Each structure stands twice: as C-alpha cells, then as structure tokens.
Chains A and B, each alone.
Chain A
C-alpha cells in the first residue's frame, strides 16, 4: 500500500473512532438527565450503532498506523508513540469493562420500559461513580491520543 493510501485509511479510521466515541458519550450523558426508563432505553439503544464504528475505527487506526510507522521508519520506542500504545491498551481494557456495564444498564432500562417498575436501580446504575469515571477516562484517553498524534511531542 502506498503512503497516501495508508494515511487516508488511518485518518478515516481515526475519524470514525473519535466520531463514534463522541456520539456514545453524548448519548450516555443525555441518558443521565432523563427520568423515565423508556427515554433512557431509547438513548442507550442509540449507542449501539456507534459501537461497531468505535471498534472498526480503533482497529483501522492501529493497523494502518503501524503500516504508516513502518513506511516512514518511525521509531516505535518514541515517547509519543509509547504513550499512545499505553493509552490504546487502556481504552481496549476499560472500554470492554465499561461497555459490559453499559450493556447491562441498557438491558435493565429496556426491561423496565417494557414491564414497568421503579427506576431507582436504573438511575443508580447510570450514576455509578466507578462506571462514570471509566467512561470519562475513555474520553480523556481519546482526546490525549488525538493530541499525541497531531503534536507528536518529544
């Protein structure tokens, strides 16, 4: 693959990854402000189309990024690249954990929307400090990776 093709696929993947992550974050924050299980269920269900975008975007960004690094003879030990790898590993692990928790929250919201019942447990799950912290850390890591890619410090 030529340098241009690799760069195009790397950037397009990064755009998908960041776009999908932002969409999922906005929908999740919007769900926090809703009182009814039906509304929360619709918002959390809307996160689902963003998930494959985030996954495919992340894979493409890393895969084509490796191709680019190899094409440009970039030192894999460079600080900005090592920091990026560490952040990506964090995103994969934490993304899987937070994603599983979010799926359970969505299933609870869908069940309550269907069958009725108290939304207290649902609201507690949505406001769970650990889950919120994990999701915020994912957003911060995404922003940090974009900044590292754009500025390549040191």
Chain B
C-alpha cells in the first residue's frame, strides 16, 4: 500500500468515528427527550463523553487527511470547488454540532445542580431543557451537514 492509500484509509476511519459519534449523540438526545429526571443526564453521560472524544477524532481526522489527499493526489486540488464546498459544510457541521453540544451540556449541568440540591424527582424545568428545540435543530443541522459532506465527497461536483 502506498502512503496515499494509508491516508485515504485514515480519512475513511475518521469519517467512521465522526458518523459513529453523531449516531451516539442522537441516541443520547432521544433518551433525554423522553426523560424528566436528573438521573437521566447522569445515565447518558458515558455515551456523550465517548461521542465527544470520537467527534474530535472524526472532525480533525477527516479534514487533515482529506486536505493531505487533496494536496498529494494529482487529480485533486485544495482549491477545487467540491473540496471548498466540503470544507464549508465541515465548518458548518462543526459549529452547529458545538452549539448543539453546549445546549446538551447546559441541561446536564442543571441536572447536576438539581441532584445536588436533593431534587432527584421529575422536574418540568429539566424536561423543557432536555426537549430544547434549539438543541435538536442544531444537532439536526450538524447531521445534515455531515450527510451533505458525504454526498459532496462521493459525487465530487465539478471535478
């Protein structure tokens, strides 16, 4: 295998890490939407922690190895329209994902506060935080960006 083959393999594995993380976060979001107790946040915390690590590996790996390939392979260039479109979508996905994650963190922090205050029962405030429309919209936007990046990478419009 050539160096480029290895870079392509690492690019693909990073994409698997990113897509795996997005799926894990969707599972966490869906579980929280059906809950209203502080314990729910603690319950999904391991999933969110694992997903956060995989997101960082995925977003860094896809862009670094992707750009490396665009520079290394004669057929492609970093200034190709589809590569730039991919980078823009990647940036949109990263930022919307970061903001969606912040919404999730806020709800989790409030759950910890309530738990520490001895209020471990159902809470209307927490239910509203878990069902945040803004958080859901941001997570959906981030996932849509990932889907569009995949479309862009496969069809390479203009290449």
Contacts and interface: CB of A to CB of B under 8 A. Distances in A.
Interface string A1-36: 000100110011011101110110011011000000
B23 A151 contact: no
B68 to A, nearest CB: 16
Interface residues on A, range: 20 to 34
A7 B150 CA distance: 10
A116 interface: no
B79 interface: no
Interface string B21-58: 11110111011000100011011101100100010000
Q: Per DSSP, are chain A's interface residues mostly helix, strand or loop, or mixed?
A: helix
Given A4-B154, A15-B15, A23 B23 contact: yes
Contacts of B9: 150-151
Contact of B23 (A7, A15, A42, A150): A15
Contacts of B16: 14-15, 18, 146
Contact of A46 (B22, B43, B50): B43
B140 to A, nearest CB: 15
Contacts of B1: 151
A26 B155 contact: no
Nearest to B15: A15
A150 B10 CA distance: 9
Interface in B85-101: none
B144 to A, nearest CB: 13
A147 B147 CA distance: 22
Interface of A: 4, 7-8, 11-12, 14-16, 18-20, 22-23, 26-27, 29-30, 38-39, 42-43, 45-46, 49-50, 53, 146, 150-151
Given A19-B19, A27-B27, 17 more contacts: A11-B15, A14-B16, A15-B16, A19-B22, A19-B23, A23-B24, A23-B27, A23-B47, A26-B24, A26-B47, A26-B50, A30-B47, A38-B39, A46-B44, A46-B47, A146-B13, A150-B12
